[in-house]
Structure 1
């Protein structure tokens, strides 16, 4: 059984090690923290923490560093975090509020979160699997270019500039627009993709212009159905390479395989504070045994629930990262809920 003072010693070790990257000894704890006891007493507490495998000595006659289990106890004991400053809160609101569309909003979100936390930031793109096609618009942009606009019933707009193989015939374009809306209007996106893939009757037979447009719309509908991630801050990960016991390339490869992070996000469940934290070996099954992930959800009233978070070494500022992740998610939910 670990005493309250020993838990406080663990907290001091975590905080000092995260700040300095140096193993922490009993004299350092006495000098930096107001425990009101001798270094010998602190050493006894540290011995108990080591017996419980909450701290460990990286080499002989050194100070101690937290283990994955020690970080877990530390995170579970957190009752509050360092609040964001008024300037930081205003920066979040202004920076995210300047976004013109969903793509820019999510791009700004990960860039901001990476800057606030100095970690790799990840946001899960809202999924549109349950959405239906409301309308398709084809806007000519020139003699051989057209803007294809796919509007879903959740308000999301997917648009693409399509280069056509030949000059646009206005009558053909108008006929294709009418046929396409009749064919896929009201369909679920998955059904729309299938219908467009077999859409020989969506325009004049063998018309290369119509085939190109239909193919582009099929890709647009398919893009909305699939889960994907937006990532920023890879340089932050590289700067902390020495905090990873193995080769950081393995971590980078796991991140590049977006399905890995999507699976991990799918298994994360928020605690009572509204945040989920996975530490070190808890992520081993995903090839991220040296990494920790702090995440939470954000709500879009049109598309449901997605996640955002940060990934970095186990030696991270959990308290600060939890506060930042939660704050950014709150603003993101508000902005998306207003759309």
Structure 2
């Protein structure tokens, strides 16, 4: 029989698995793993019969009560059993979960979609994300880096003393417009000078390359632009670059969410997934972390209402820099031990694809 002292008081707990006794850790792990597998609360009688603890139901119930007081377990109104809270899931994921490599079948399914010949990059990313969604039985999302436009021609059209219309013609034939607000009005000749400089010196470059050349030529005195005209060119490039920086999001497999036992939560999650700007900001956290991230429920404002979880990992380009993020979105009762290695492998596979 396991022997252990009492659990620490809630205000003494630091959030470490070391705060739990051996007995409490074993019971807590069993409850979490059972809940993640079945979605059902776990009762003390079930643990006494099948948990292998050699403890009475009453003894197990006492430990469960202690774990509840620590905020790691909760008792639904409809059940005498316990289920992990979001805090409990975080402790389990960070300190107790054991993950394995993805299975050969999972690897083969992802590899098959990442190697489709003749498909565009966006199509391959979409198909690979679709495979991940099917394997995880959840929605999956990939942030696709938006290509930096290559400048063919830039036109500046005065609209009023403080406003210009900037028209960018890309090397691929695309045409887009932006409004530029000026801090100081410019003369028509200054606007013409800025336009002539951009088309003579910046055509054929990406926006990032154009901004770099402008800075270099101003520093060396080769730009031959006065201060206001140089500011106009710089602001024009910045306006386009800010807009180009946002990723394109591909979300696949939302239908898997309908398999949820809680359709109200599934409906909320559907609504949250439509808020792609907020979803992009959430994925940016994984991008900035430079490694796989797990977000559980209310840890993110976006999924606080539906109580959903996100497992996301960045993938890299040929130069090793992070260019996008791929991940899985589903209920907090994800099979994290299985989903985490699948997302990690998918990110690694996309890195090889981008390289």
Per the TM superposition, whether the score is higher than 0.5 is yes
Distance change >3 Å, CA 183–CA 330, structure 1 → 2: closer
Q: Does 1:236 align with 2:260?
A: no
Alignment root-mean-square deviation, CA? 3.4
Deviations 1:256-292 (CA, angstroms, capped at 9, x unpaired): 12101011112347889x4211111112356555111
Please say if residues 255 and 261 of structure 1, whose CA atoms lie closer than 8 Å, have aligned partners that are also in contact: yes
Runs of 4 or more, structure 1, over 4 Å off, are 180-183, 189-192, 221-225, 269-272, 285-289
| 1:141-180 equivalent positions in 2, closer than 5 A | none
Question: 1:322 — aligned with what?
Answer: 340
| Cα distance in structure 1, aligned partners of 2:36 and 2:289 | 23
3-state SS of paired residue (2:301)? helix
Structure 1 residues 127-149: Cα deviation after superposition (integer angstroms, max 9, x where no partner): 44xx462889xxxxxxxxxxxx9
Q: Counterparts of 1:288-299 in structure 2 under 5 Å?
A: 288-299=305-316
- Cα distance in 2 for partners of 1:18, 1:324 equals 17
* Cα distance, 1:334–1:125 mapped onto 2, change above 3 Å: same
Q: 2:224 corresponds to which residue?
A: none
Whether 1:84 aligns to 2:94 is no
**Equivalent residue number for residue 101 of structure 1:** 120
Q: CA 1:46–1:278 in structure 2 vs 1: closer, same or farther (change >3 Å)? A: same
1:133/1:150 contact within 8 Å kept = yes
User: Of the candidates 278, 282, 289, which is equivalent to residue 299 of structure 2?
Assistant: 282
TM-score by length of 2: 0.66
Taking the aligned partners of 1:21 and 1:97, their CA distance within structure 2 comes to: 36
Structure 1 unaligned segments of length 5 or more: list them.
137-148, 152-157, 161-179, 193-220
Structure index of larger Rg:
2
Question: Is contact 2:41–2:79 with CA below 8 Å preserved after alignment?
Answer: no
* 1:260 paired to 2:278: yes
Q: Which runs of 5+ in 2 are unaligned?
A: 1-7, 9-19, 154-168, 175-198, 212-240
In structure 2, the residue matched to 1:40 is: 58
C-alpha distance 181-306 of structure 1, shift in aligned 2 (>3 A): farther
Q: How far apart are residue 79 of structure 1 and its match?
A: 4.8
Aligned residues: 269
